[in-house]
Structure 1
Amino acid sequence: MSTLEEHIDISVPLDTAWECLHRAETYPRFLEGVRAARSEGERTRLDVEAGGRTREFEVRITDRGGENVMTWRTTSGPTLGGAFSLLSLDDDHTRLQARFEYEPGTITETFGGPKGFAQAAVIERGLRSDLQQFKELVEHGG
């Protein structure tokens, strides 16, 4: 299993960032490839464009609220997982750390694209872009 971690500092209080992370309907606005998202209790259904077509994935989200950590793992589709961790820097600034866990072969089979180092570089750029999109969304009241 490969793991990638990235972080970004956001100019909002921790509670504001935490709330936005928990609104599934905002996921298409900051997660590349997600076309639609809806919560169903502890499960979230994502319509994701993968390999030139839209596929539905089910994700189980678990909160460790006292630690400000939201973990996720697919329960259908490819085996993927990760976590979002929030750290209050001060009253108006928060660090969001994202961890993404994946099997390189699964990514290629599901989404297509490059393999090896090139795949890792594409995933890293994608994660950085998603974090930047989240920052813009949450800082502008989304």
Structure 2
Amino acid sequence: MSTLEEHVDVGVPIDRAWDRLHRVENFPSFVEGVRDARTEPNGRAHLDVEAGGRTRELEAEVSDRKERVMEWHTTGAPLLAGTFSLKPIDRTHTRVQARLEYDPDTVRETFGGPKGFAQANAIERVVRSDLEHFKDYLERER
């Protein structure tokens, strides 16, 4: 398994960032490749994802931990897991940290794309870009 961690500082209070992070139906606004997303019963989310010219439906279980940490993991292939951690910087700024655990070969087989280091770089770029889009999404709604 590979692990990727990235963060972005956003100009909104932690409560607003936490609330927006839980609006699964808005994921297409800031997560690259997500075409449709919806909350399902029992802490699940359904995502229609397009990547590498392929479309896949993903089901994920989502749960919250103390200290503003959201955990998630897919319930089928590809096996992915991660967390979003929110930390207050001050009253009007929040750090959003994303952690993703994935098997590069499984991601490549499922969605296509390059092998090895090139794929890791591509995944890093996507996660960084998604965090920047999340920042824009949050700050646009002030």
DSSP-derived class of the 1:37 partner: strand
1:141 and 1:76 map into 2 onto residues whose CA distance is 34
Aligned to 2:20: 20
Query: 1:82: how far off?
Result: 0.4
Contact 2:54–2:112 (8 Å) recurs in 1: no
1:98 and 1:4 map into 2 onto residues whose CA distance is 8
Query: Please, what TM-score do these two structures have when normalized by structure 2?
Result: 0.96
Query: 1:111: how far off?
Result: 0.9
DSSP-derived class of the 1:67 partner: coil
CA RMSD across the alignment: 1.1
Q: 2:86 aligned with 1:86, yes or no?
A: yes
Aligned to 1:46: 47
Aligned to 2:5: 5
Aligned to 2:30: 30
Runs of 4+ deviating beyond 4 Å? none
1:35-67 CA distances to partner (integer Å, 9 max, x unpaired)?
Answer: 000001200000011342322110100101x31
Unaligned runs of 5+ in 1: none
Counterpart amino acid of 1:124?
A: E
Query: 1:77: how far off?
Result: 2.6
Identical amino acids, percent of aligned pairs:
61
Query: 1:15: how far off?
Result: 0.5
Corresponding pairs, count? 141
Unaligned runs of 5+ in 2: none
1:86-121 CA distances to partner (integer Å, 9 max, x unpaired)?
Answer: 000000000000001100110110111111111111
Query: Please, what TM-score do these two structures have when normalized by structure 1?
Result: 0.96
Contact 1:45–1:59 (8 Å) recurs in 2: yes
2:51 and 2:126 map into 1 onto residues whose CA distance is 14
